[in-house]
């Protein structure tokens, strides 16, 4: 990247995340799953790493994935020294991810929908293949009434509710919360249609 290149929209977004609280969905799955005790978690689309830090703090060995080059430096700076040996970082685009390490918890906050539907389907297969027996999965997905669907169809993945539910076939659906409301995003006002999901694979 040249010195004059603009930071990507995601880098700009992530830079604004340092003061926010850890996301409730992440806290909820950490509470449900209990102390990590060295078990493995994945934070897919970790951004600045607020939730990666929370997982590490709860005792999880944590594999953080994002395509932003700055992720490594951000996480290295934010991670407490005593947690660093439990952190691994992978700089990769979701569309190119061939596999993920076996995991007891996969968290993905507001990240999975931001790829094309055909890539999402493959990525979801990679995510499901990583889940060990008894593993927890906590993700935000975008529904088909989200206002981004009007401009980003084919670029991002918007799921009708039955299709979103079907992703978790064979898992216990612990939480399936639907948000269908006007609100705000980093880019301004929008209509949110979100599925906030926690599911668990049987032991």
Is 111 one of the binding residues for ligand SAM (CB under 6 A)? yes
Is 68 one of the binding residues for ligand SAM (CB under 6 A)? yes
Is 93 one of the binding residues for ligand SAM (CB under 6 A)? yes
- Contacts of 153 by beta carbon, 8 Å cutoff, 6+ apart: none
Give the nearer residue to ligand SAM in terms of CB position, either 67 or 176. Answer: 67
Return the residue of 41, 42, 54, 66 that touches ligand SAM, per CB under 6 A: 66
CB 124 within 8 A of CB 167: yes
Is 146 one of the binding residues for ligand SAM (CB under 6 A)? no
Site for ligand SAM, residues 39 to 58, rule: CB under 6 A: 45-47
Is 157 one of the binding residues for ligand SAM (CB under 6 A)? no
CB of 162 to ligand SAM, least distance (A): 25
| Nearest of 121, 109, 17 to residue 66 by alpha carbon | 109
**Binding residues for ligand SAM (CB under 6 A):** 10, 13-14, 17, 23, 45-47, 66-68, 93-95, 109-111, 114-115
């Amino acid at each position: 990247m040249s010195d004059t290149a603009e930071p990507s929209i995601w880098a700009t977004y992530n830079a604004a995340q340092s003061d926010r609280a850890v996301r409730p969905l992440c806290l909820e799955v950490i509470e449900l799953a209990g102390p990590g005790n060295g078990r493995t978690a994945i934070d897919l689309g970790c951004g600045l790493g607020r939730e990666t830090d929370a997982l590490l703090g709860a005792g999880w060995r944590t594999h953080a994935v994002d395509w932003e080059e700055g992720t490594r430096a951000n996480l290295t700076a934010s991670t407490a020294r005593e947690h660093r040996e439990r952190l691994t970082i992978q700089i990769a685009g979701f569309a190119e991810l061939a596999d993920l390490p076996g995991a007891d918890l996969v968290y993905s906050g507001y990240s999975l929908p931001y790829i094309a539907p055909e890539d999402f389907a493959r990525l979801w297969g990679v995510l499901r293949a990583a889940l060990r027996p008894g593993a927890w999965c906590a993700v935000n997905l975008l529904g088909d009434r989200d206002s981004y669907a009007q401009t980003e169809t084919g670029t991002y993945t918007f799921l009708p509710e039955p299709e979103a539910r079907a992703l978790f076939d064979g898992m216990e659906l612990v939480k399936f919360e639907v948000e269908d409301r006007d609100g705000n995003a980093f880019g301004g006002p929008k209509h949110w249609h979100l599925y906030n999901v926690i599911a668990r694979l049987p032991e």
